[in-house]
Amino acid sequence: MLIKNSKPFNIGALFAMTFLGVLFMIFSPVFQGRNGLEFADENFNKLAKGSSYFIPKVSRSVENVPGTQLNSVISVDKSEDAVNTETILMMAGARVERNDVTLKISGDLSMVLKSALKDADAMYNNDGKAVSGRYGIDEKKALKYWWTALSKIEKQMKKEKNVEMAKLVGEVNKKAVEPAYNFYKVEANKVIDHAGMMTGLLVFYVFYTMWWGYAIFYLFEGLGLTMKKAKVKKEA
């Protein structure tokens, strides 16, 4: 018979069955019409967004570089992208010369970055209509054009050893444009306002992982599969 010790095996079987029962519930739409993973993911996204609002801080950095001239030549993938990127840059006060997919950009760097921050702030606050209405372009596409243009401008600045300005452009992209794009239409929550729920989810995750570990441990013990410390051989 496979079962060597019935008591630990029964304990392990009970742990395993209850674990699977809870797992079934987690994957059921019992959390306000969503399953447990969707519910947890949504709430952690809300908390992550609430901790990712760096736009005011980045805006202060941009205010410190008025009059800095931007002179860059970038290339994009498609003519449509070039036309739309030209639109958002010209609306930001830049001068743009377009040749198919290549854009020669000049103007006040701070004005361009302020415009990108303005769009990012609107998107962070889920006001996509403000962005789409400004350019006549889908709001997420507009922010993607900003991200692409700023990434290429940053890369060129680094090649030109303009490290300080490249860092500023990178900060606008990483701390404003990216979070605004990634968290668009997600409600922002502060961690301090949901500390109990977050703590509960983390404690449950640790407890649930240990639950399965003990189930396996007792099942194996019931089958006679145990781990024992090897005896130390004494030298003759």
Tell me the pLDDT tens digit for each residue of 12-46.
Answer: 899 999 999 988 988 888 777 788 787 877 877 88
Between these two residues, 134 and 67, which has the higher pLDDT value?
A: 134
Tell me the pLDDT tens digit for each residue of 76-121.
Answer: 999 999 999 999 999 999 999 999 999 999 999 999 999 999 999 9
Closest CA to 96 of 113, 112, 80: 112
Same domain, 99 and 137: yes
Helical H runs in 64-194? 79-91, 109-124, 128-135, 139-159, 163-172, 178-182
Domain count, the chain: 2
Question: Does 69 reside within a domain?
Answer: yes
| Confidence band for 131, pLDDT divided at 50, 70 and 90 | very high
The pLDDT, as a whole number, for residue 25 is: 86
Same domain, 85 and 155: yes
Same domain, 74 and 165: yes
| Confidence band for 233, pLDDT divided at 50, 70 and 90 | low
> Does 236 score more than 60 pLDDT?
no
The pLDDT, as a whole number, for residue 1 is: 55
Looking at every residue in the chain, the average pLDDT score rounds to 88
> Does 230 score more than 60 pLDDT?
no
Tell me the pLDDT tens digit for each residue of 40-50.
Answer: 778 778 888 88
- For residue 222, the surrounding DSSP H or E stretch is helix 195-222
Same domain, 129 and 208: no
Closest CA to 16 of 203, 220, 227: 220
Question: Does 228 reside within a domain?
Answer: no
Which of 159, 182, 205 terminates a domain? The answer is 182
**How far apart (Å, rounded) are the C-alpha atoms in residues 54 and 118?**
13
Same domain, 39 and 144: no
The pLDDT, as a whole number, for residue 139 is: 96
Share of the chain above pLDDT 70, in %: 94
Between these two residues, 219 and 129, which has the higher pLDDT value?
A: 129
The pLDDT, as a whole number, for residue 194 is: 72
Same domain, 154 and 91: yes
Question: Does 167 reside within a domain?
Answer: yes
- Taking a C-beta distance cutoff of 8 angstroms, is the pair 74, 105 a contact? yes
User: Per this entry, what is the length of the chain?
Assistant: 236
Question: Does 232 reside within a domain?
Answer: no
Question: Does 227 reside within a domain?
Answer: no
Same domain, 58 and 115: yes
| Confidence band for 143, pLDDT divided at 50, 70 and 90 | very high
Tell me the pLDDT tens digit for each residue of 57-75.
Answer: 999 999 887 778 999 999 9
- Average pLDDT on 219-235 reads 69
Same domain, 138 and 166: yes
Same domain, 136 and 104: yes
Same domain, 65 and 169: yes
| Confidence band for 188, pLDDT divided at 50, 70 and 90 | confident
Same domain, 42 and 60: no
CA-based radius of gyration for the chain: 28
Question: Does 20 reside within a domain?
Answer: yes
Domain span at residue 118? 54-182
Question: Does 231 reside within a domain?
Answer: no
Same domain, 36 and 61: no
